[in-house]
Amino acid sequence: MARKGRARRAERGRARPDPNDLMWVMPTKGDSMTAQPKRRDAAHPVTQIDFARAGVVTPQMTEVARKEGRDPEFIRAGVAAGRIAIPANIHHAALSPEGVGEGLRTKVNVNLGISGDLADEAEEWRKVEVALKYGAEAIMDLSNSGKTQAFRTKLVAASSAMIGTVPMYDAIGYLDKALISITADDFLDVVRRHAQDGVDFLTIHAGMNRRVIESFKETGRLTNVVSRGGSLIFAWMEATGNENPFYEHYDEILEILHEHDVTISIGDAMRPGCTYDASDAGQIAELIEIGKLTRRAWDAGVQVMVEGPGHMALDEIAANMKLEKRLCHGAPFYVLGPLVTDIAPGYDHITAAIGGAVAASSGADFLCYVTPAEHLRLPDADDVREGLIATKIAAHAADIAKGVPGARDRDNRMSDARRRVDWEGMFAEALDADKARAYFQSAPPSTEGTCTMCGEMCALRTVNQIMDGLTVQLEPTGEGAR
Ligand code: SF4
């Protein structure tokens, strides 16, 4: 008990006063879990990590504990230490909070959003419906053309999943300026707008500073910089000769994020775009910078997630996950893929799911989905479903391997239904019940209690009959039968 008390006092000591002198008023039981920023004195916490360090279990922590089958104190301690993030913007009233990090279920993100070439808002809403129906815990709105605020605010209002954005994508459209005319202050304005709009986590590519670019230029790459946000910042830095504005003005960005309890998802601008570039000097140089930025964010009372690769051969993935956890002090790791080979366009939901399963079982906490359309076009709603289910499979497979509490329960229920040849029971446990049912119904079996795979030779049915004390009778069928 004394040790626990000392740890809590140490956590409290690390909490910094909010620079904007704001207080987040805790809702009473039964009220909405969101709140408006209020004036506060310096002793009062604002963000989930502030509260956790102050020893307070918030409603969001309680809800995450319920979903995960964990003790609320386990969640509070994880948030206080930075090992768990609960992205929960104070303006996101529809949010059903999720925890991302050590000891929790692996979470899955769906990307969508309007692009310049395909600005079909109705199709983007179909994707939102698919994402929510099939259990995505997060949706990133990557809209990058025109005025994006209307779609973003509608999405925040409608979505129980956490919402992420990349302000850099939106800068040109929001500011109505050419890239090289945008100032550092302009970039901060875009960050502020997204935070005020209720976005739960923002991808900020703050790690790619001049040192990292020097390292990348010295060593060279097969596919250079493939991160969209990273390429825009690289172009801006090269054109203006200035330092990365998100790195140079990092403290001001943290102040904005703290005010609205936005989690920073520190982007990996130097993520490898092919297996050849994986684990190279540029990637690792940026990861070292991200580790330093992680500590600065925690010191400012801002929750952190760290983004990672990318493309990577299978044998490098586990070591990369451990390196991230080491260099970034145990911060939750959010990976795109990794895609374990470069030669399967049209099937990259599979190459990414293979890598995602290995990554998550080796320590990654959050998987960004990849669709069959990756590298080829903007995905449609069907691609979103295929990509999401593939990534959910990877996440769940990893959770079984990691021994996440309760992870096997659904598999055991499925197996019990299989043994009983209970089709409705099987559909109820399936990740994609619609697809499973459609397959079964497309080929009705002639023998009841089987499917057309084995028909009357159904192993399950045969053994069930024996176990029930019945005699199994299998007669020859087909053309040669007499
Ligand atoms: S027929 Fe074969 S595949 Fe179908 S339920 Fe029975 S054992 Fe399984």
For 83-113, the pLDDT digits (tens) are: 999 999 999 999 999 999 999 999 999 999 9
Please choose from 414, 419, 451 the residue to mutate so as to test ligand 1's pocket, defined by most ligand atoms within 8 A of CB.
451
Q: Tell me: do 212 and 318 sit in the same domain.
A: yes
Contact 86, 98 (CB under 8 A): yes
The stretch 450-460 carries a mean pLDDT of 95
Q: Which amino acid is at 479?
A: E
Residues shown for the chain: 482
Q: Which atom of ligand 1 is nearest to the CA of 461?
A: 6
Confidence category of residue 479, pLDDT binned at 50, 70, 90:
low
Which of 9-18, 31-40, 213-222, 355-364 is least confident?
9-18
When pLDDT is averaged across residues 283-308 and rounded to a whole number, the result is 98
Structural domain total, the chain: 2
Of the listed ranges 151-155, 385-389, 474-478, the least confidently predicted one is 474-478
- pLDDT at 17 (0 to 100): 34
Output the CA 99–ligand 1 centroid distance in Å: 38
Q: Is the CB of 418 under 6 A from ligand 1?
A: no
Q: Which domain holds residue 108?
A: 103-402
**pLDDT of 179 strictly over 90:** yes
What was the pLDDT predicted at 146? 80
Residue-level pLDDT at 291: 98
400 CB within 6 A, ligand 1: no
How far apart are the C-alpha atoms of 102 and 199, rounded to whole Å? 23
Residue nearest to atom 4 of ligand 1 (CA): 451
- Is residue 444 in a domain? no
Strand partners, 1: none
Residues β-bridged to residue 310: none
Q: Is 453 in the pocket of ligand 1 (CB under 6 A)?
A: yes
Pocket lining: 451 vs ligand 1, CB cutoff 6 Å: yes
Q: Is the pLDDT of residue 380 over 80?
A: yes
Residues 254 and 384 placed together within one structural domain of the fold: yes
Contact 316, 288 (CB under 8 A): no
Q: Are residues 192 and 300 in the same domain?
A: yes
pLDDT of residue 120: 87
- Given this model, what pLDDT does residue 412 score? 98
Contact 351, 341 (CB under 8 A): yes
Q: What is the pLDDT of residue 47?
A: 98
Which residues does 211 contact at the CB level (< 8 Å), separation at least 6?
Answer: 285, 289
- Quick one: how many helices (H) and strands (E) in the chain? 20, 12
Atom of ligand 1 nearest to the CA of 445: 1
- For the Cβ of 426 lying below 6 angstroms from any atom of ligand 1, the answer is no
Q: Which two tokens mark 248? A: 């140079």
Which pLDDT value is given to residue 478? Answer: 64
* DSSP string of 272-328, one letter each residue: -SSGGGTT-HHHHHHHHHHHHHHHHHHHTT--EEEEE-SB--HHHHHHHHHHHHHHT
Do the domain assignments include residue 435? no
Three-state SS for 437?
helix
AA identity, residue 183:
T
Name which residue leads in pLDDT, 32 or 315.
315
Which two three-digit tokens encode residue 57?
Answer: 């279990």
247 and 151: one domain? yes
Q: Are residues 184 and 114 in the same domain?
A: yes
Query: Same structural domain for residues 252 and 150?
Result: yes
Q: Whose CA is nearest to atom 3 of ligand 1?
A: 453
Count of CB atoms within 10 A of residue 188's CB?
A: 18
The rounded Å distance from CA 435 to ligand 1 centre is 17
Asked if 66 and 138 sit in the same domain, the reply is: no
Query: What residue's CA is closest to ligand 1, atom 6?
Result: 458
Per-residue model confidence (pLDDT) at position 32: 45
In this predicted model, what pLDDT tens digit does every residue of 318-351 receive, in sequence order?
A: 999 999 999 999 999 999 999 999 999 999 999 9
| Ligand 1, atom nearest to 421 Cα | 5
Q: Which residue has the higher pLDDT, 447 or 425?
A: 425
Q: Are residues 244 and 386 in the same domain?
A: yes
Average pLDDT of span 352-376: 98
Share of the chain above pLDDT 90, in %: 84
Say whether both 222 and 351 belong to one domain: yes
Structural contact between residues 398 and 106, judged by C-beta atoms closer than 8 angstroms: yes
Looking at residue 12, its pLDDT comes to 38
- Which pLDDT score, from 0 to 100, does residue 5 have? 41
- Among 420, 422, 427, 458, the mutation site with the greatest number of ligand 1 atoms within 8 A of its Cβ is 458
- The CATH number covering residue 216 comes to 3.20.20.540
**Residue 413: per-residue pLDDT:** 98
Return the ligand 1 atom nearest residue 457 CA: 1
Task: Flag whether pLDDT at 394 surpasses 90.
Answer: yes
Q: Does residue 279 sit within a domain? A: yes
Query: In this model, does residue 35 exceed pLDDT 60?
Result: no
Ligand 1 pocket, mutate which of 450, 457, 463, 474 (most atoms under 8 A from CB): 450
Domain presence at residue 460? no
Q: What integer pLDDT is reported at residue 474 of this predicted model? A: 85
Q: Is 417 in the pocket of ligand 1 (CB under 6 A)?
A: no
> Given this model, what pLDDT does residue 6 score?
42
- Give me 348's structure tokens: 């990259």
Q: Is pLDDT at 57 greater than 50 in this prediction? A: yes
Q: How confident is the model at residue 29 (pLDDT cuts 50, 70, 90)?
A: very low
Both 247 and 373 in one domain: the answer is: yes
- Domain end, chosen from 85, 119, 153, is at 85
Using DSSP's 3-state secondary structure scheme, residue 424 falls into helix
Q: How far is the CA of 454 from the centre of ligand 1 (A)?
A: 6
Please indicate, yes or no, whether residues 66 and 196 belong to a single structural domain of this protein.
no
Report if residue 205 sits inside a domain. Answer: yes
In the predicted structure, residue 37 carries a pLDDT above the cut 50 = no
Residue 456 alpha carbon to ligand 1 centre in Å: 9
Distance from residue 457's CA to the centre of ligand 1 (Å): 8
Write down the mean pLDDT value for the chain: 91
Asked whether 184 lines ligand 1 (CB < 6 A), one says no
DSSP letter at 451?
A: -
Atom of ligand 1 nearest to the CA of 418: 5
Residue nearest (by alpha carbon) to ligand 1 atom 8: 458
- Bridge partners (DSSP) of residue 304 are 264
3-state secondary structure of 353: helix
**pTM (predicted TM-score):** 0.90
- Between the alpha carbon of residue 268 and those of residues 44, 232, 233, 377, the distances in Å are 33, 13, 12, 22
Residue 16: pLDDT over 70: no
Looking at the structure, tell me whether residues 154 and 244 fall in a common domain: yes
- Tokens 């309680």 belong to 62
The reply to whether ligand 1 has any atom less than 6 angstroms from the CB of 460 is yes
Q: Could you tell me if residue 172 is inside a domain?
A: yes
Evaluate if residue 26 carries a pLDDT over 70. no
Domain stop point among 348, 371, 402: 402
CA 434 to centroid of ligand 1, rounded, Å: 19
Answer whether residue 410 is part of any domain. Answer: no
What is the token pair recorded at 407? Answer: 């992870």
Q: How far is the CA of 327 from the centre of ligand 1 (A)?
A: 49
Name the CA radius of gyration of the chain, rounded: 24
Q: Is residue 417 part of a domain?
A: no
Indicate whether 272 pLDDT > 60.
Answer: yes
Give percent above pLDDT 70 in the chain: 90
Q: Please count the CA atoms within 13 angstroms of the CA of 98 that sit on its side-chain side.
A: 24
